Copies of this chain bind each other. A is one copy, B any other.
């Protein structure tokens, strides 16, 4: 994906900028944002430049204006609705999380095969899988989170894509096989920890 990393950084910048508004900061420089987000000032300017965001020489960028411009790029003017499949450990952690709102996202429905999990016990209604096609269509959902066991992840993925889902955040430790028009992002917590281990181990040698 060509500009995936750039978009990821824009999202980071946006988060910082929102902090700045809370602190009453109105104007910033590329190196301010760079330091805060751990990239180089040139990178910040280049990212902005790529999307036609221009700053002022000697005066940097206006925070509010910058947020507006990034919002426009990221289509952050409407709330982005997401569904969740699998109400286990991870699923529950996600639906209890308050941080989505600030970022204009909302988990609008969850699904689980286990009848004990279904109903309105949680902040968000939990439906049986049979309801999925209907809700995806009604709410016009494009993105979903897979938080089911490895053994059922592929079939959940198939169900989602058959019903028009185009983006999936996958927690199951399997590589999902699907059309390349579908975008899949794997969250591999164990993998990340194993990689960390490798490098922290090495440094002692």
Contact = CB atoms under 8 A, between A and B. Distances in A.
Interface of A: 1, 4, 7-8, 11-12, 15, 36-38, 73-75, 80, 82, 89-90, 92-94, 96-97, 99-100, 103, 105, 142-143, 145, 166-169, 173, 175, 181, 183, 185, 187-201, 203-204
A12 B190 contact: no
Contact of A190 (B100, B173, B197): B100
- Report the 3 A-B pairs with minimum CB-CB distance, sorted nearest first: A167-B196, A89-B93, A167-B200
Identical copies of this chain, number: 2
Nearest to A74: B198
Contacts of A145: 193
Contacts of A181: 203
Contacts of A92: 89, 93
A50 to B, nearest CB: 14
A191 B1 CA distance: 16
